[in-house]
Amino acid sequence: MQIKRYEVKSIQEALKKIKGDLGEEAVVLSTKRLPGSEGLLEIIAARDEAEVRPLPRMFAGNDEIGELKREVREIKFLLQSLSIGEFHSEISLFKEELNTLFDILGLRKREKGNDVLKRLYQHLVEVGISKGKALKLLEEVKQASRDEGFKNYEEGLATITSYLEEYFSTPERKEGRIQFFLGPAGVGKTTTLAKIAARYALSEGKRVGLITTDTYRIAAVEQIKVYARIMELPLEVATNRKDLLSIFSKYNSCDYILVDTPGRGPAALTYLRELKEEGGLEIDANLLLALNSSREFLMETAENYQVCTFNRLIVTKIDEVNKGGGILEIFEKTKKPIAYITTGQNVPTDIEEASPKRLASLVVYPRH
């Protein structure tokens, strides 16, 4: 057995050196932090010099399976190395990825020779769906269709689209009279509010009142003032819950009241939960999420805004990406209906009601 000791600054650095020195069959024997070394790690790794047995014949020459096996070994390295206390929070992430890779191997073994499923899986990952969700979706669709609908690649995509159309279907409900627009800075809250205000006021002839609570940015107030002036709609500024209740009373004759909020995080919106809990107010809290954000940011934002008890989603900036998988990830994470999607900056035209058919198509055929 060949054994080597390494002093490194990070697990990733160790992994690179171990693979270079000992090869991909090496194992990590121990990991510890060196006292007084400003964060250096001591890692002991080894490799059994006995001849490695060849892969089973069914995997011989299969570059893709070989690549997956290499990924599994790499994650094993990290799992073994991350036994230090301060890295415990990361272990679950690597375990999830490891399990996903084993699932992929299992699926491909069960479906040996089925190039259609393989292509469909690759397509789902390419459009922005996580590996684990892509596998789960394929299994669900296969089960729901009783293995029908996968005779060829195009038919498989159509079968998945039909399944997602049903998945995105939610019971219809009346829109709240008071609508808050929530979300981080830059997702398009003010322009989306203006688009919906134009739809209500100009297309449907409804009486609409506007409120902004975004007093942190002068430009934000001025922007919504311009929209209010163009559409000849009343606009009020509120700085607290008391102001809001007073303006709600003032707008008593309005069919809809639309409230813009600052992109300062959910902590600045604690009053919203209180308003919803008071009862008597028909409130919709719309969380806006921009599809051009990373999956991690989308999931984190959705989690953070749960405290605001949002009950609808609006997915923005559809036009800025060519991958629609994030729509499915958002929907599954929040379990909330998607009310609208926005497709550009133009007010009032670049907005659509998010029908299940349209959402399913955006996920599977994102460029359409």
The overall longest dimension of the chain from CA atoms, in Å, is 84
pLDDT along the chain (368 residues), means of 10: 80 81 76 73 73 45 59 58 49 53 50 70 91 87 75 89 92 86 92 95 95 80 91 93 93 96 78 77 92 90 88 94 91 93 92 94 82
pTM recorded for the entire structure = 0.69
Question: What are the helix and strand counts (H, E) for the chain?
Answer: 13, 11
Q: Which two tokens stand for residue 38?
A: 């400003």
pLDDT score recorded for residue 161: 94
For the stretch 328-366, pLDDT in tens is 999 999 999 999 999 998 999 999 999 999 999 999 997
pLDDT score recorded for residue 54: 47
pLDDT score recorded for residue 260: 94
User: Could you give the number of structural domains in the chain?
Assistant: 3
pLDDT score recorded for residue 99: 56
- 220 with 352, same domain: the answer is yes
CA 320 to each of CA 71, 293, 323, 324: distance values in angstroms, whole numbers, following the listed order: 31, 10, 9, 11
pLDDT score recorded for residue 68: 63
- 204 with 289, same domain: the answer is yes
pLDDT score recorded for residue 113: 40
Q: Which of 220, 168, 218 is nearest to 194 (CA)?
A: 220
- 138 with 231, same domain: the answer is no
Structural domain ending residue among the three candidates 130, 145, 168: 168
Domain that holds residue 145: 111-168
- 102 with 34, same domain: the answer is yes
Q: How far apart are CA 125 and CA 366, in angstroms?
A: 12
Q: How far apart are CA 323 and CA 89, in angstroms?
A: 30
* Identity of the residue numbered 10: S
- 356 with 262, same domain: the answer is yes
- 73 with 150, same domain: the answer is no
pLDDT score recorded for residue 237: 93
- 154 with 241, same domain: the answer is no
Structural domain ending residue among the three candidates 140, 168, 196: 168
Percent of the chain predicted with pLDDT > 90: 40
Domain of 340: which CATH number?
Answer: 3.40.50.300
Residues forming a β-bridge with 27 = 46
The answer to whether residue 173 is domain-embedded is no
* Identity of the residue numbered 283: I
- 251 with 355, same domain: the answer is yes
pLDDT score recorded for residue 51: 44
The answer to whether residue 121 is domain-embedded is yes
Collapsing DSSP to helix, strand or coil, 231 comes out as helix
- DSSP label at 349? T
Q: Which of 175, 168, 262 is nearest to 211 (CA)?
A: 262
CB 241 within 8 A of CB 271: yes
